[in-house]
Structure 1
Amino acid sequence: MTFMVVRGSAENGPYRCPCCGYITLAERGAFEICEVCYWEDDGQDEHDADEVRGGPNHDLSLRQARQNFEAIGACNEYCCPFVRVPLPAEHPDSGSLYGTGTLYSWP
């Protein structure tokens, strides 16, 4: 199976989390965990938001994680104890709510 992943280097960051939209990630697609919603950034983004990839986010699609964040403040109910309120500097100031980067095919 081939996945398309979004990658972004630290020198071009920080980046918005593809789940909650807050600017919490130093890199994109580097399996960093967002402290605001607890989504683990495996490079999934708008191009495949409905796909359930398995991996670090288990049986959760990005779209479902976004809906969960809107409803309960975390990507899933098990992550609620670990999330925090976004810092003022993490609020996106304009444009698309969700993260950007470069799309790559993997493997």
Structure 2
Amino acid sequence: MADMKPTPTLARLAATIEARKGGNPNDSYVAKLFDRGPDYVARKLGEEAVEAVVAALAGSDDELIGEAADVIFHLAVLLSARDLSIADALAELDRRDGVSGIAEKASRTPE
């Protein structure tokens, strides 16, 4: 796991997700997501991302904020399902800080 520390909100979210990992799927939505496996969580994240796009194009600001929160939540669960964390993603953002998005993308794309 990366050394980058998430914000208090993200840290609480990560702690809640880890605490509910392996829990009873009948008692916890997080446990239910883990029980269904990473592929299911990935599809759920995709659904939430589409809903965020729809809210951005046709919804209110409140709808977009709600959908953005859903995306962040499901992303955090998916990362945890792969034994990764929000802190890992934040560390990657820090690594990219100050690097042109065009240059960064080009460094990942084989020619």
Q: The TM-score by the shorter chain falls in which range?
A: under 0.3
More strand by share: 1
TM-score normalised according to structure 1 size: 0.27
- TM-score for both structures, normalised by structure 2: 0.27
Greater Rg over alpha carbons, structure: 2
